[in-house]
Chains A and B, each alone.
Chain A
Amino acid sequence: MKKLACYFAILMFSVLIIATPSTNAQEKLTIAWAQWDPANYLDELSNDFTAETGIEVDLVQISWSNFQDSVFTAFVGKSDRYDIVIGDSQWLGRNSVGGHYVDLTDWINENIDVDAIYATAMEAFAEYPKGSGKYWALPAEVDANGFLYRTDLFEDADEQAKFKEKYGYELAPPKTYEELRDIAEFFTRPPNLYGIAPWYSKEYDGITMGFQQVMWSYGGSYGDPETYKVEGHINSDDVVAALEYYTSLRAFSPPDAPNYYWAETLDAFKAGKVAMAMDYFAFFPGVVDSNQNPNYYDKTGFFVSPAGPKGHAISIGGQGMSISAYSKNQDIAKRYLKWFMQKPVQEKWAQLGGFTPHEEVLQSEVFLNATPFNKAFAASFPYLRDFWAVPEYAELLEACQTGWNQVIIGSKSAKEALDDIARKHEAIFEDAGYYD
């Protein structure tokens, strides 16, 4: 028995020694992205790059819930694990100021036809500080907040007549937030059907992504991008009105709505709980798939996020491609970026299901008709706007998430919460030295 234990111990250690990593000498490019369909498309697209250059591309798909933590710890540890990181637009400030991204300004100006790319996308995904002309990335997947609706409900003659009678206008996908609320109210028939599934969740950037576009469309803003003054912007009457509007949708949303972010609104829509749902366009391929959405895959329509009384703005999603400053393969990474931005490659990218930032490709008939939602996506493009992209974005975001969620669940009034957010945001900027 004892001898056996000895053998066992020796073997255990031999396993450990064998299990330690070996070095990998092969020429290989490692890309980090979140785990979702677009990453699968990019994986497929990258086969062409390998065929062309002989360089193997390893696309590491990290689940959304762990994406940020994994990538940032790798940066903190200066790990050379990832050569290219396809990161959120909000990360730009932190990772450029922190020295984790390679400054691509000169290289992009020399090698990339910037004019072919949508200016909005370039500003949101590549430039930091905004307006400085300094580039840290190239837009890869441009995404936007859009809406799903149930065509079987909207196109039902009986429903249309009743709606007209009650509200005085035709039932159709809403163009404004007021219409959206009318329709949501109309279809709210608890306990089995509700009007709308909005993003209310405190999870990461959930409610912020849902609400900020309402805020902008109501004439509000986060603050002055020049002076970083927040007081009077984020707690202005416009924003109060917007937040009160957004909270009023709670009455027409399922009981679980305060927990809703992209996964939950999709599930609610697929279960037939709601007539309309908010979500990122990148998740829509699954909605029209008969396996993923067996009940409503052929009864789903799409519309652009509505306009508000004082404008029209839509939350941007999606990611840009940056090169890690700790990568040992920066030249190969640049080669990949250059290859990716070529028009034929972008065409194929769009064909596979990627949302290209390439203006010409995006407006081509082929792209617009490729899926039932591409038209709505292309129409959303001019209105895209983003959260703060400063290095302190996470703290700013946390204040918004908590404050806005508190209003939704009724713990605070809109004004109280917004004053609170304004105070916290100013403290964060003050602390980081923006007012010096």
Chain B
Amino acid sequence: MRTARFSRGFSDYQIKMAFIMPTMILLILMNIFPLLWSLYLSFHRYKASMPNRPAKFIGPQNYARLLTDPEIWGYFQTTAYFVVLAVITQFIIGFGLALLLNREFRYKGLVTTLILLPMMLSPVVVGLFWRFIFASDASGLVNYLLSPLFGGPIGWTTDPKIAMLAVVIVDTWMWSPFMMLISLAGLSAIPKYLYEAADVDRASQWFKFRWITLPLVSPLLLIALLFRTMDAFKMFDIVYVLTREGGPGIATETVSMNLYKLAFRNYNTGKACAMAYILLIIIVALSNIYVKHLNKVRGEA
């Protein structure tokens, strides 16, 4: 065949380069300019809306001001609170569902696809329609159905104490299916004979779960957690739409919400770039911990 002659001369090294290069070139080309541009401007006083005013070098002032601003720290706390709460809830629900779904029954494929539907919607659409569902009076579906339980309608998106919970619920609704899918993939890949062997030994359900299931799926769960944590840090659409730009008050004002205002509304480009780098460093550091741990777990398994 023609292709065969054509590729006969390729060494493993050439194949390796040819296979890796497209990805690396694309990633570098698309990322190098934005990365350098933001790094450069993070040390400058610059507004992209004022292109006729040159960027003025001010050293690490942007970083210093951000890190000493108690409000920004507040946004970081809100973000951390959201990330922890959302990722843990999604993990528990997703993994729990996966444990339930890990059995044979009719329409399993259909059921799995149906549960995945929330993930396939645009986050902005999700925010918009949950506005209706979370309306604070009886016109909201949740209040309509559940107000007898709570003894009255709840201000899901208007009460500063509850709004974050609403955001977490929506994010969980949207992304626990992702956790479910990956957990289920891990669970169904565990060879059956391990359980059969444990059954012979009359092991308890808990023993099987603790010593067979968990160790075997934990690397996969870590990866799922890694991707969810990364995305949760950047979560923006739901607070933008559902709770109206991080409201009520500052109850759901996350760092990425504030970053949007800095970068787009205010065009405080220099400061926004500094903020982005702070966020990037945090996410990179966290991911690094995950990946290290992941490699360790993989090595043990």
User: Which of A22-30, A197-205, A381-389 is the contact stretch?
Assistant: A197-205
Binary contact track A41-64/B, C-beta < 8 Å → 1, others 0: 000000000000000000000000
A259 proximity list for chain B (CB < 8 A): 131, 136, 157-158, 244, 247-248
Instruction: Say yes or no: is A166 at the interface (Cβ < 8 Å to chain B).
Output: no
User: Which of B170-178, B189-197, B258-266, B285-293 is the contact stretch?
Assistant: B258-266
CA distance A254 to B160 in the complex (A): 17
Closest to B260 in A: A69
CB pair B136–A256 under 8 Å, yes or no, is: yes
Given contacts A203-B244, A409-B159, A409-B160, contact A76 B48 (CB under 8 A): yes
Chain B contact residues: over half helix, strand or loop, or mixed? loop
Binary contact track B148-159/A, C-beta < 8 Å → 1, others 0: 000001010111
Instruction: Say yes or no: is A75 at the interface (Cβ < 8 Å to chain B).
Output: yes
Instruction: Say yes or no: is A235 at the interface (Cβ < 8 Å to chain B).
Output: no
CB pair A395–B268 under 8 Å, yes or no, is: yes
Closest to A404 in B: B249
B31 proximity list for chain A (CB < 8 A): none
Instruction: Say yes or no: is A311 at the interface (Cβ < 8 Å to chain B).
Output: no
CB pair A2–B250 under 8 Å, yes or no, is: no
CB pair A78–B247 under 8 Å, yes or no, is: no
Binary contact track A372-416/B, C-beta < 8 Å → 1, others 0: 000000000000000000011011011001100110111110000
Instruction: Say yes or no: is A370 at the interface (Cβ < 8 Å to chain B).
Output: no
CB pair A203–B155 under 8 Å, yes or no, is: no
B137 proximity list for chain A (CB < 8 A): 191, 254-256, 273
CB pair B266–A99 under 8 Å, yes or no, is: no
Binary contact track B33-62/A, C-beta < 8 Å → 1, others 0: 000000000000001111110000000000
Given contacts A255-B158, A259-B157, contact A411 B266 (CB under 8 A): no
Instruction: Say yes or no: is B204 at the interface (Cβ < 8 Å to chain A).
Output: no
CB pair B52–A255 under 8 Å, yes or no, is: no
CB pair B158–A271 under 8 Å, yes or no, is: no
Instruction: Say yes or no: is B77 at the interface (Cβ < 8 Å to chain A).
Output: no
CB pair A405–B247 under 8 Å, yes or no, is: yes
CB pair B49–A94 under 8 Å, yes or no, is: yes
Bin the interface of chain B by size. Answer: 35 or more
Instruction: Say yes or no: is A258 at the interface (Cβ < 8 Å to chain B).
Output: yes
CA distance A412 to B250 in the complex (A): 11
How far is the CB of A203 from the nearest CB of chain B, in Å?
4
Given contacts A72-B264, A395-B268, contact A405 B50 (CB under 8 A): no
Closest to B159 in A: A409
A99 proximity list for chain B (CB < 8 A): 50-52
CB pair B244–A201 under 8 Å, yes or no, is: yes
B135 proximity list for chain A (CB < 8 A): 256
CA distance A408 to B247 in the complex (A): 11
CB pair A204–B50 under 8 Å, yes or no, is: no
A410 proximity list for chain B (CB < 8 A): 160
CB pair B160–A411 under 8 Å, yes or no, is: yes
Given contacts A258-B158, A409-B159, A409-B248, contact A98 B52 (CB under 8 A): yes
Bin the interface of chain A by size. Answer: 35 or more
CA distance A258 to B139 in the complex (A): 16
CA distance A255 to B253 in the complex (A): 21
Residues in B245-283 with C-beta less than 8 Å from chain A = 245-251, 253, 261, 264-268
CA distance A273 to B52 in the complex (A): 50
CB pair B246–A202 under 8 Å, yes or no, is: yes
Instruction: Say yes or no: is B3 at the interface (Cβ < 8 Å to chain A).
Output: yes
How far is the CB of B215 from the nearest CB of chain A, in Å?
39
A411 proximity list for chain B (CB < 8 A): 160, 248-251
CB pair B267–A72 under 8 Å, yes or no, is: yes
Instruction: Say yes or no: is A10 at the interface (Cβ < 8 Å to chain B).
Output: no
CB pair B153–A255 under 8 Å, yes or no, is: yes
CA distance A271 to B137 in the complex (A): 13
CB pair B49–A204 under 8 Å, yes or no, is: no
Residues in B59-76 with C-beta less than 8 Å from chain A = none
CB pair A2–B3 under 8 Å, yes or no, is: yes
Given contacts A191-B137, A203-B244, A255-B155, contact A409 B267 (CB under 8 A): no
B3 proximity list for chain A (CB < 8 A): 2
Instruction: Say yes or no: is A97 at the interface (Cβ < 8 Å to chain B).
Output: yes
CA distance A254 to B140 in the complex (A): 12
CA distance A2 to B6 in the complex (A): 15
Which of B49, B245, B249, B253 has a CB less than 8 Å from the CB of A203? Answer: B245
How far is the CB of B51 from the nearest CB of chain A, in Å?
7
CB pair B244–A202 under 8 Å, yes or no, is: yes
B119 proximity list for chain A (CB < 8 A): none
CA distance A94 to B52 in the complex (A): 12
Given contacts A201-B244, A204-B245, contact A69 B49 (CB under 8 A): no
Given contacts A391-B49, A398-B261, contact A202 B268 (CB under 8 A): no
Closest to A402 in B: B250
B244 proximity list for chain A (CB < 8 A): 201-203, 206, 259, 261
How far is the CB of A140 from the nearest CB of chain B, in Å?
22
CA distance A264 to B175 in the complex (A): 28
CB pair A271–B49 under 8 Å, yes or no, is: no
CA distance A256 to B137 in the complex (A): 7
CA distance A98 to B266 in the complex (A): 13
Binary contact track B122-138/A, C-beta < 8 Å → 1, others 0: 00000000010001111
Residues in A68-101 with C-beta less than 8 Å from chain B = 68-69, 72, 75-76, 78, 94, 97-100
Residues in A217-272 with C-beta less than 8 Å from chain B = 254-259, 261, 271
10 CB contacts below 8 A, A to B, read: A99-B51, A204-B245, A256-B140, A258-B248, A259-B157, A394-B267, A398-B266, A405-B249, A406-B249, A411-B250
Beyond A203-B247, A409-B249, list 4 extra A-B contacts (CB 8 Å). A98-B51, A256-B137, A394-B261, A394-B265
Q: Which residues of B contact A (CB under 8 A)?
A: 3, 47-52, 131, 135-140, 153, 155, 157-160, 244-251, 253, 261, 264-268
Top-8 shortest CB links A-B: A202-B247, A255-B136, A406-B249, A409-B248, A256-B136, A258-B158, A203-B244, A394-B265
